[in-house]
Structure 1
């Protein structure tokens, strides 16, 4: 056998080995590498009393069993200081049998912070089960102190200041009724909107929402270097993938100014979505699962420092 042929076989073997290693990492390792992210959100209309207020934002757990990932989420949350507010961004369920283990996850988080108010919205996963089963899930969440908002809003008072907290049903499957959600908004009052899919960002901005918390995209779940997310399931724009989107960034992505001063935060989520028609394939790559610790700040983000003069 020639040296050239031997060299080709060696390179082929190395390539196959690297591909197998990447597949193993994406399928078995990174999906369990849940991390806590810490983000400051600057909001010009935030009440002064809410400056520094902390939100524990958990989205898209997609629970089908209480396993290693769920235990890691609880352990990470146990290391955090008590938040002022807990928000669940929808997609509790990984399948129809996930109600009980999903409620166990919520319960264990609630027990860590028993005096912290907690709210939730539905994602598209909750509309894959029967209406009666979804009502059961809502009742179980209520038993552990989690209030589910479904196309409605309410006044929320913390630290002596009141904002409007609004929550719409899942936009992705067409269950969101924004007219109903925004019907009771108080002009001039800071508004926080919970919306599972960020596809309603332009409508929320136009309605005068100050902050929107969303999930659904999983950050793309697979992110390629330089190219970004593989797919985000966001009809508004693939570029609304994860992280913070202040008004200027949203305007740039949309290609027009929707109005208002909306800041959006999109979580990469905790759980996994499976590749269509391949129910065994649910990778994460360059997109670790996220538990978000958000700190609200009154005002505008600080300007970047100019480069040092030479």
Structure 2
């Protein structure tokens, strides 16, 4: 039996090993590289993630702890990985205490809607259906979250503006069209002033015809505005844009849109970096007046800095799915972001710019734990004093 300090060190090294390779996967999925390259690097990471512990186990089986300790390469690797665990803990504490999270004026109420009784598990293809049967899986339980945000520069006449945010539906055929129609019904029932689609809308070409009977049913006085995401690039994304345009949705990825509400100008600029570009820019609305509300729609929350630099009041994003699975009390682990789990989901503030990152409503992976799909219904207000 090895001494307790050695066991603690091995545990730290093992956790650090997981932190390193998961972090590597997170960042490769945020770089905008060809999806085949990303898939290959993900596979290599999975092999390394499983391979190093198996190597250590093989040494243990061959000669016990002495054999493990005598492996110079394994020992050197462990000495590098163990400190990562400590750094990761410090990083998680820093994320929770960071001013970006603590200075947002907001309130949230949530309602859970379980679609299984109404739609049944037949809504899913065989493999997703098997996952749906797992205890605690929330993939078919929609969290309708009513979020009130206080924007520092919001004119009083725009207070009460209602925005429905949908992202990451990933229409691929894993689940039937009826699931997405139910989500659309929930958004419409709230009677939003404006609807935002923040990317990863269609993943497979055979689902592009679904656009008319899903996104085409969205209604809002100020319109439906959209950007695409990385998974839209896996299909004929030009056809997806044409289908969305045909149902009246407005593509804001290249040129900012301008709408008026209560005689105030709202500009909506899209950002699809790093997968498509260049992004749209805010424009002069005329009469030498600035927009009364600058809204950025981005699939990737890593573009927060871009929005801040352009003086945006609000940025809405998706992409990270909230981590898909969260581990209380650690939170999310897998998030495809250059910032790791920092922007997995939630509301953030930098200067006078607020960003909300939705967990998304979709079905890329047929499992969610402690991280239900999210339909976000946002009401804008002036900040409370």
Q: State the TM-score, normalizing by the size of structure 1.
A: 0.73
Q: Based on CA coordinates, which of the two structures has the bigger radius of gyration?
A: 2
Rounded to whole Å, the distance in 1 between the matches of 2:259 and 2:135 is: 41
- The structure whose RCO (Cα within 8 Å, separation 6+) is larger is 1
Aligned partner of 1:184 in structure 2 is 283
Equivalent residue for 1:120, pick from 226, 232, 238: 226
Flag the structure with higher helix content. 2
Give how far 1:93 is off. Answer: 1.4
**CA RMSD, 1 decimal:** 2.4
The answer as to whether partners of 1:222 and 1:230 remain within 8 angstroms in 2 is yes
After superposition, the Cα gap between the structure-2 partners of 1:135 and 1:102, relative to the gap in structure 1 and judged at 3 Å, is same
Compared with structure 1, are the counterparts of its residues 63 and 206 closer, same or farther at alpha carbon in structure 2 (3 Å cutoff)?
same
8 A Cα contact 1:64 1:102, kept in partner: no
How far apart are the structure 1 equivalents of 2:134 and 2:324? Answer: 10
Residues 164 and 185 in structure 1, CA contact (< 8 A), matched pair in contact too: no
CA gap of 1:139–1:293, structure 2 versus 1, over 3 A, is: same
TM-superposition CA deviations, 1:282-303 (whole Å, max 9, x none): 32111111111000012x345x
Tell me, yes or no, if structure 1 residue 222 matches structure 2 residue 325.
yes
Distance 1:225 1:212 in 2: 27
Structure 2 residue 197 is the aligned partner of structure 1 residue 88: yes
**How does 1:227-242 map onto structure 2 within 5 Å?**
227-242=330-345
| Equivalence map 1:181-220=2 (5 Å) | 181-182=280-281, 184=283, 188-189=290-291, 190-220=293-323
Cα separation, 1, equivalents of 2:225 and 2:282: 19
* d(CA) in 1 for partners of 2:159, 2:165: 17
1:269 aligns with 2:379: no
SS at structure 2 position matched to 1:31: coil
1:55 aligns with 2:163: yes
- The equivalences for 1:95-134 within 5 A come to 95-110=204-219, 113=220, 115-129=221-235, 133-134=236-237
Distance in 2 (alpha carbons) for counterparts of 1:142 and 1:84: 19
Give the Å deviation of 1:78.
4.6
* Larger CA deviation: 234-243 vs 34-43: 234-243
Distance 1:159 1:24, change over 3 A: same
